[in-house]
Amino acid sequence: MSEKPASDHLEKIYLEASQWVRMCNSIIWTMGTFLVPFSAACIGLAIEHPEQRFFLAPASVFLFALWVYVTRLYRETSASARTVLMKVEDEWGIKDEMALYKLHGQVGLKRYSLFNTQVFSLIILVVLWIILLVTLPMAAPKSDARPPAPLIQNPN
């Protein structure tokens, strides 16, 4: 009889921990879905409107860096939940080929994880902005050219 409550307790822990891992992934990727395109849009806007580049550069870097920061926060809590999940799988005696979290391991803490890729991308973004800030003209060039002549001349 004492084994049933312990099993129920572990099942609740397993369900909640796996739900937490899914929620962390959802938060990270949902934020990335909005923040990354907005950050990239700032680059396009700076090329189109160079006079705004000193506003757009920090905005772009901030948006991307916010995503990196949130990923760092949630990867830590997701990793602790994964550790619990792997221990529960051991406790239940699930075969290694069937233990999903043991098979995946700590994916967020590996060398080529999302977070490390984000940090690398953030560094590239900062370098790109430095290049753009130096090379973009202060204002969009104004054209003094006349509008093109009409193709068909009116004989009257």
Question: What does pTM read for this prediction?
Answer: 0.77
Q: Give the structural domain span for 16.
A: 3-135
Is 52 part of a structural domain of the chain? yes
Q: What is the pLDDT of residue 20?
A: 95
Number of domains in the chain: 1
What token pair was written down for 152? 């068909």
Is 143 part of a structural domain of the chain? no
Mean pLDDT over each residue of the chain, to the nearest integer: 87
| In contact, 85 and 18? CB cutoff 8 Å | yes
Is 19 part of a structural domain of the chain? yes
For the cut 50, the answer to whether the pLDDT of residue 1 exceeds it is no
Is 149 part of a structural domain of the chain? no
Around Cβ 78, how many Cβ atoms within 10 Å?
24
Is 141 part of a structural domain of the chain? no
For the cut 60, the answer to whether the pLDDT of residue 5 exceeds it is no
pLDDT in tens, 55-101: 999 999 999 999 999 999 999 999 999 999 999 989 888 888 888 88
